[in-house]
Amino acid sequence: MQRWWLLLRGFSLCLTVSLLLQGRGDTFTINCSGFDRNGVDPAAFQAVFARKAFRPVLNYSIPTHVNISFTLSAILEVNAQLQLLTSFLWMDLIWDNPFISWNPKDCVGINKLTISAENLWLPDIFIVESMDVDKTPSGLTVYVSSEGRIKYGKPTRLTSICNLDIFYFPFDQQNCTFTFSSFLYTVDSMLLGMVKEVWEITDTSRDVIQTQGEWELLGINKATPKMFVGSNLYDQIVFYVAIRRRPILYVINLLVPSSFLVAIDALSFFLPAESENRAPFKITLLLGYNVFLLMMNDLLPASGTPLISVYFALCLSLMVVSLLETIFITYLLHVATTQPPPMPQWLHSLLLHCSSPTKCCCGEPQRGNKDEGLTSTCLPGLKEPVELVGKMSSSAEAEPARAQQEHEAQKQHLVDLWVQFSHVMDTLLFRLYLLFMASSIITIIVLWNT
């Protein structure tokens, strides 16, 4: 009797233990009875839900493998001043929970279930560059497969810090990093892997990004360096997201108008130097350019010195220089026509040299009719100095009327010479201006292309 009782007690103990351990044995199979009639029985998952505070592993020396993936669904804003990139990510995390498994045949063919995410343990994967509180919506669900594989997807508005270099604005590319890492678990407890290849992530992201906004996705690369913090080693996956600005808006609104203004400024050198209109015209251009810069200022990045600012400064200085040149030539002409100072001999010969038809000013060398035709057509009023000196010496001994006339002619000749000199200066400065403009613009274009 005693033995029977002991046997019964032992048996009931065994039964109790086995009932208690049910769903906690080697297989942790979930009891699906009744799922076909009443839906999922919450009691069947109670044992799993009760463990959500702990990392779900059978042996704590086994690290949990979390595979991650993401889809970049929008590039919302790039803030060069704060060095922040705002984007929208769909993050996917996949890991195994060994305490969940069921036999789909027993469970009316259910292969996977959705379970509210707050009932399960979730890995604490975060993005190291994130500079904002986690804006993940609450009340997300996870997919649980019959083998215990858990798929958790969360949409995240990510504000991440990124080293933005706006030197090449608006033709700039940025290389931002998203580093996925566990906040707490070291490599002993958590290892990271990839759900899919990085080119698949790139392709999906390209397909998903519908916006034709300012930024376009160039490509995504990845690296998997481990991170040491103190003596702890953390697993992490670094994604390099390369994005490129679409420059067309800035080309149309900034570069083209400014180039037109500079071109008009250069062309205004063809207005005759004697004309009263040249200086006012250039001042108007300068004023217009300043208004343009004021209006377009908010299109420029708020910080740093992009090359385009250098370009604008260059355009402005070209205009200022051309205005100064006009003022100088106007002054020269004024002096020349009112009270011409005597012209130094070297300047005179230089002028003659420079304005001779074989040299710069008069195009093709035409030696045949050098003295009469060409000097008069190219440089009206300019005569050979020897002839002039001869005239001057001969005029000294003539009668007063003739001397007066000679003096007038001489003065007129000097005026002509100075006017001549002004025109030569104007041409010369214009060429220098063109040379400077061309070389600086070529330099900037070359810099932009590197």
Q: Is 68 or 429 the residue whose CB approaches ligand NAG more closely?
A: 68
- Name 306's Cβ contacts closer than 8 Å, sequence gap at least 6: 166, 167, 168, 169, 172, 300
Q: Is 77 or 106 the residue whose CB approaches ligand NAG more closely?
A: 106
Tokens of 239: 């994604």
Tokens of 330: 């106007």
Tokens of 335: 């002096």
Is the previous residue joined to 170 through a cis bond, with omega within 30 degrees of 0?
yes
Q: How far is the CB of 221 from ligand NAG (least distance, A)?
A: 5
Q: Is 67 or 179 the residue whose CB approaches ligand NAG more closely?
A: 67
- Name 181's Cβ contacts closer than 8 Å, sequence gap at least 6: 125, 126, 127, 128, 192, 227, 234, 235, 236, 237
The whole-angstrom separation of Cα 208 and Cα 75 is 11
- Name 10's Cβ contacts closer than 8 Å, sequence gap at least 6: none
Amino acid (one-letter) located at 54:
F
Q: Is 218 or 441 the residue whose CB approaches ligand NAG more closely?
A: 218
The whole-angstrom separation of Cα 145 and Cα 52 is 17
Q: How far is the CB of 71 from ligand NAG (least distance, A)?
A: 17
Q: How far is the CB of 149 from ligand NAG (least distance, A)?
A: 6
Taking the alpha carbons of 397, 401, 404, 410 in that order, is the dihedral positive or negative? negative
Q: Is 67 or 322 the residue whose CB approaches ligand NAG more closely?
A: 67
Q: How far is the CB of 445 from ligand NAG (least distance, A)?
A: 22
Q: How far is the CB of 65 from ligand NAG (least distance, A)?
A: 5
**Going edge to edge, which strands form the sheet with 173-182?**
125-127, 173-182, 236-245, 215-223
Q: How far is the CB of 62 from ligand NAG (least distance, A)?
A: 6
Q: Is 60 or 260 the residue whose CB approaches ligand NAG more closely?
A: 60
Q: How far is the CB of 150 from ligand NAG (least distance, A)?
A: 8
Amino acid (one-letter) located at 120:
L
For Cα atoms 167, 171, 175, give the angle at the middle one, nearest 5 degrees. 70
Q: Is 61 or 231 the residue whose CB approaches ligand NAG more closely?
A: 61
The whole-angstrom separation of Cα 317 and Cα 293 is 13
- The residues that touch ligand NAG, with contacts defined as CB under 6 A, are 22, 31, 33, 59, 61, 65, 67, 94-96, 175, 193, 219, 221, 240, 242
Q: Is 237 or 333 the residue whose CB approaches ligand NAG more closely?
A: 237
Tokens of 129: 């560059």
Q: How far is the CB of 60 from ligand NAG (least distance, A)?
A: 7
The whole-angstrom separation of Cα 377 and Cα 366 is 12
Q: How far is the CB of 95 from ligand NAG (least distance, A)?
A: 5
Q: Is 219 or 385 the residue whose CB approaches ligand NAG more closely?
A: 219
